[in-house]
Amino acid sequence: MLPRIADSLSFLYLDMVRVVQDDTGVCAQIRVDEQRTDTVYIPTAALSCLLLGPGVSITTRAMATLARHGTSVVMTGAAGVRTYASVLPDSLTTTWLERQVHAYSDTERRLAVAVRMYKMRFGDVPAGVNLDVLRGMEGQRMKALYRLLAQQHGIGRFRRNYHPDQWHAQDPVNLALSAANTCLYGIVHAALLALGCSPALGFVHAGKQHAFVYDIADLYKAEVTLPLAFALHNAANPEQDARRKLRESLRLIQLLPRIVRDVQALLAPEAADTADTESACTDRHTVDMVHLWDPTAGPLPAGVNYAQESS
């Protein structure tokens, strides 16, 4: 049995390597010099997300193994910032996708999920508040957090900037924050795929294939990536340091189990607290079989011949 998504390793970033499948498993071949090539094996069965940076080549056999093990593969820019494309492994169950679509397809239910997201950040929100007010409250919260972190680290006025075309002209805090956020997106993306959810059907964000990824990632930025980025304001290599320190902090805060629980609580709050729900829906692979839909009888077993017997 493969490990549960909640117990998996979070992410691995690679660049300037060749990823292949050999007789033992998937490995990264690192060219040291003309005579020497080092080999590092990748724990695909226990890895949630593989980030591939510039200079990486990967074989079809390696990609097939990653997909079979449920590891999402994300192609990124230098230092793991700016996502270009992703390869999505197949999910063997649609339980949470159906709940996501059910909530997304109705305006009132979609609004209720969006409000629950803001409640996770604020703790509570005024009754009857609309999304315009909630967005304004979130903007004020982030500005206050920027000011607080800047004061704590002795930094002058901070402004969030993201300019890929002028990447190395940015300050260390923005560099570290962009690198850490991209890694966070990869982790959230992997968790959503493992649950069978669609990354494209967002409740606050819309119009992108990763809209739901951005929704969920925003729940953790104030706790996970922002303090980390400000702590690296004097770092010589903030992108690399951000990835390394983020991996270290994720071991302490156990983010993957939190993502699973929070997504379940958002999409089905009435079922999220039951113990069998979490154990059944956090496995990387489940044994749920395909069934047939019926508007009256509900799910019917597949693989059954329903033709009427002739008299």
Confidence tier at 157 by pLDDT (50, 70, 90) = confident
| Mean pLDDT of the 8-16 span | 81
| Mean pLDDT of the 84-96 span | 69
The residues, any chain, with a CB within 8 Å of residue 232's CB and separated by 6 or more, are 172, 173, 176, 238, 241, 242, 245
CB 43 within 8 A of CB 9: yes
Beta strand pairing status for 18-21 and 26-31?
antiparallel
What's the predicted TM-score (pTM) here? 0.71
Dihedral angle, C-alpha 142, 266, 98, 181, nearest 10 °: 30
User: Where do the domains of the chain lie?
Assistant: 5-87, 95-267
Q: Decide yes or no: CATH 1.10.3720.10 for domain 95-267.
A: no
Q: What is the CATH number of domain 5-87?
A: 3.100.10.20
Q: What is the pLDDT of residues 171-205, one digit of tens each?
A: 899 999 998 998 899 888 877 877 888 999 999 99
Q: What is the pLDDT of residues 210-222, one digit of tens each?
A: 999 999 999 999 9
Residue 274 reports pLDDT greater than 60: no
Q: What is the pLDDT of residue 60?
A: 94
Dihedral angle, C-alpha 93, 99, 105, 109, nearest 10 °: -170
Alpha helices in 2-159 (DSSP H): 60-68, 95-104, 107-122, 131-152
Confidence tier at 280 by pLDDT (50, 70, 90) = very low
Q: What is the pLDDT of residue 276?
A: 41
